[in-house]
Amino acid sequence: MKMRLALGYLLLATSALAADPAMKPFVLASRGSGDVDGAAKTARQKLQAAGFEIAGSYAPYPGALVLAVTNETLKTEASRTPAGGYAAAQRVTITKMGEEVQVAYTNPSYMAAAYRLPGDLARVAAALEGALGRMEEYGPSEGRSAKDLRKYHYMVGMEYFDEPSKLGQFASHDEAVKAVEAGLAERRGGSSKVYRIDLPDGRQTVFGVALADGCSGDARIMSEIDFKAIRSTGHLPYEILVTDGDVRALYARFRIAVNFPDLKMMGSHSFMNIRCAPEAIEKALKAVAGTR
């Protein structure tokens, strides 16, 4: 009897794990010889054929290109929560490492959990896999379940998803969007616009923002934290989310940690070496909103 009960508990535990598998933030689609421009052209064609819209693109540093992609499913799912807009764009990346070109993309199901969407974006994940392929998930040495991601923070005292940087507040959604557009056009805080996506609810607009100055700079930060053989270029760019008249961004200690959850606190390639980044990023994004 005891043996049967123990076996039953084991089966239940195994079933629970299978229902909520560990995930990693990025998916390697392919790797091989070639060049960034050629791989990017092919990726664009495949993505558009699969129904994706290229919302914007940029090269954060030599040998790397980021394509921000969206589709109707992403927009609809992102509009189902007040802060879902952060997930409206998935990032497809082409990165040159020596003689190898790596094509990768953010894992939609990982991002859906981390950004607390109601669904898991499985249809988007399947569409990206169908368009670009899927070799393996990667990033941290160990993955995290959806349950863990929905309550994720790096450590005690660091921010959760629902503790964002508050960049500004305006009388209306349109006024807030115009302020962000103006800040990006003027490249305040070393910023530039990568994309803009308006969600169908009419209450959320998300901007992809490239940063180039000092400790907030994309190249500066990634040179320290993105050091593994398969690059996590899809961490970029950062987002500004306008919801009604509120302008916010995920606090950088969350935004960086959720994509690099196994980054050490101290030593080489660690958070300590970019300790100036969270405040610098927030300062730059406040400049975009015109509130600094």
Domain that residue 276 falls in = 21-289
Q: Is 259 in contact with 232 (CB distance < 8 Å)?
A: yes
Nearest to 25 by CA among 132, 114, 151: 114
Q: What are 18-31's pLDDT values in tens digits?
A: 578 999 999 999 99
For the chain, the residue count is: 292
Mean pLDDT of 194-223: 97
Largest CA distance in the chain: 73
Q: Measured at the alpha carbon of residue 36, what is the angle toward residues 62 and 97, in degrees to the nearest 5?
A: 65
CA distances from 4 to 18, 117, 132 (A): 21, 39, 46
Q: What are 102-151's pLDDT values in tens digits?
A: 999 999 999 999 999 999 999 999 999 999 999 999 999 999 999 999 99
Residue 6 counted as domain residue: no
pLDDT at 245: 94
Residue 241 counted as domain residue: yes
Cα torsion angle, 218, 223, 227, 230, sign = positive
Residue 159 counted as domain residue: yes
For residue 206, what is the enclosing H or E element? strand 204-211
Residue 13 counted as domain residue: no
φ, ψ at 41 (rounded to 5°) = -60, -45
CATH at 68: 3.30.310.70
Residue 4 pLDDT > 50, yes or no? Answer: yes
Residue 8 counted as domain residue: no
Count structural domains, the chain. Answer: 1
pLDDT grade for 201, boundaries at 50, 70 and 90: confident
